[in-house]
Amino acid sequence: MPLWLIGMMGAGKSTLGKIIAERKGWKFIDTDDVVMEATGREITELFATEGEAGFRIRESEAVASVSSHPGAVVATGGGAVLLSENVDTMRRTGLIFWLQAEPATLAARIASESKQTRRPLIFDDDVEHSLRGILDDRQGAYRAAADFAISTDLLSPEEAADLVEALWHD
């Protein structure tokens, strides 16, 4: 039964997912990596050539393909919850943890990254403003999908992993 991590870019899905997977001896899977391996292209290139709708189809294929993986911690793309079939798959196969963080925290965490590295929805030079808009659009979908919500703003990755593990009974 996979453990699904949802939330905004910069919320800590990959960092936390790797910690939990290592502690449990499970595999860590990032659906963005699955998409890139399947297509041989970067996420930003897929957005540029296929648009967000095309990328979301590929993301759904990735969610479906990893959903039956036994013993996996899966970090989804931030927009995976926008398609109901993804949420249905995640609900059917595991527990869903929404990793929350304030836009200022998210912006600080991704500040060192180039806008060209897998962050195709950040168009504005004001990263925090862009993130606030995306979060406003997605917050209801995250809330509806999640079995548990954890704020990662004031927690170290290890503390957040401890909290996930305390709530999760595999």
pTM recorded for the entire structure? 0.91
- Phi, psi angle pair for 120, to nearest 5°: -70, -10
Architecture of domain 3-164: 3-Layer(aba) Sandwich (3.40)
Q: Which DSSP state fits 114?
A: -
Which of 52-56, 63-67, 107-111, 117-121 shows the lowest per-residue confidence on average (mean pLDDT)? Answer: 117-121
CA triplet 28, 30, 32: central angle to 5 degrees?
165
> What type of residue is 82?
L
Query: Could you tell me which residues are beta bridge partners of residue 4?
Result: 74, 96
Q: Indicate whether 8 pLDDT > 90.
A: yes
Q: How far apart are CA 157 and CA 161, in angstroms?
A: 6
**In terms of C-beta density within 10 A (0-12 exposed, 13-18 middle, 19 or more buried), how is residue 8 classed?**
buried
pLDDT for position 14: 94
Neighbours of 85 (CB within 10 A): 10
For the stretch 64-115, pLDDT in tens is 999 998 899 999 999 999 999 999 999 999 999 999 999 999 988 887 654 4
